[in-house]
Amino acid sequence: MDAFEYGHLEAAQPSLSFRWGELSNGCDLKGASLYPLKCVDLFAGAGGLSLAAVKARIQVVAAVEFDKHACATYRANLIDSSEYSDTKPELYSLDILDLPPEKLRKAHFPGGNTCDVVLGGPPCQGFSVHRINSSGVGDPRNKLILRYFDFVRCLSPKIFLMENVPGLLWPRHRDFLEAFLRQSEEAGYRIIGPYPLDARDYGVPQRRKRVFVLGIRQDVLFDDSVWPPQQTHGDAKARQRDSSLKPWATASAIFAVPAPDCDENNRHMNHSPELTKIFQATPPNGGSRHQSGRVLPCHDGHDGHSDVYGRINPNQPGPTMTTACVNPSKGRFVHPTEPHGITVRQAARFQTFPDNFVFKGGLMAAAKQIGNAVPVRLGEILLRAVSHGLGIGPDA
């Protein structure tokens, strides 16, 4: 069977098979004219949004990322594999706090050249839904949102697109969000959003809710009707209201296709014999912690953490891929039928990365990169909507 692609999620969707210099419709990207927009990807991680941009015909001229393993992944997949030296991005392997925005502007947009789009998802742990009470309010990582806007102000792009977790909208983080929105307006940007979007509603086989903020420079014409993009998938109730919607993609396709031969990401955690027996006893296709018999002292007396050590149900969208998505002790990350956690490759498929996108740094480093990424499919849909909003159609 062929390597995992979009087409294994639903036959009507374009293939996710990716090679630098190719699009799903087979067009050659060697000509720069096929890149009508240029972007910068901040907090680029492993390159999920950069890959989405390429698929949406947006040239990534520069990316900024500090994590050494994410940089190795980005470089291997989006730079070293590039067939065309005139279109590959330059990667800045630096702490964004140590990179002057002016340096990036002078290097890539001299002489009045324009940056069209700034992308990025500042680290979101400070806003995580796993934080409770007032936790996260003083987290210094929250201030990276404001650093993101330092680059927006300097580069003055037509559009900026920022992604973060739903916790960004919680009342206790209002000061950070309001400061960001206020700076945006003072710099001449109008904001559409913040909008919480669920990746399931766009054909991604995982429930994943994230917040997106779209900023549009005041002098730029943009068709607001395209943002946010109309959902394409839904549950039974949503499809009753809108018959054009397709059913949510399920996890079944993730496990139906064997991993490519010699895939270094076809690895799962090594479990103890005791834990392997627990997984063998867990009912297939969705068994929970209670059914597995894995009840620790910290679980006794309450019903929380029911997904821990649970199996993924292939008949439903998968769970949110977190930075610990290969560790069954951190969520419902056990293979639907086998007595072990999911592999890095399977986790990457939930994020709609193609099978020839290889994650570097080892098992846990790869899981962190995958959990931090924007699903490639969702990113492509969002960035195509940005292009359409600017009046650039699919055949531009």
Nearest to 139 by CA among 127, 149, 148, 147: 127
Residue pLDDT, tens place only, 120-152: 988 754 444 444 344 344 445 557 777 888 999
Of the pLDDT bands very low, low, confident and very high (cuts 50, 70, 90), residue 290 is low
Q: Kind of pairing, strands 189-198 and 90-92?
A: unpaired
Q: Name the catalytic one among 124, 154, 298, 325.
A: 124
**For 125, left (φ over 0), alpha (ψ -120 to 50), or beta?**
alpha
Residue pLDDT, tens place only, 33-65: 577 899 999 999 999 999 999 999 999 999 999
124 in catalytic set: yes
Fold (CATH) for 19-241+375-389: Rossmann fold (3.40.50)
CA distance 10 to 12: 6
Nearest to 339 by CA among 252, 294, 296, 281: 281
- One DSSP character per residue, 95-122 reads -GGGS-HHHHHHHHSGGG----EEEE--
- Domain boundaries, given as residue ranges, for the chain: 19-241+375-389
Question: Taking the C-alpha atoms of 68, 73, 78 and 79 in order, what is their torsion angle to the nearest 10 degrees?
Answer: 50
Within 8 A by CB and 6+ apart from 15, the residues are 5, 6, 7, 24
Cα–chain-centroid distance for residue 177?
A: 21
Residue pLDDT, tens place only, 258-271: 999 999 999 999 99
Q: Record the pTM.
A: 0.86
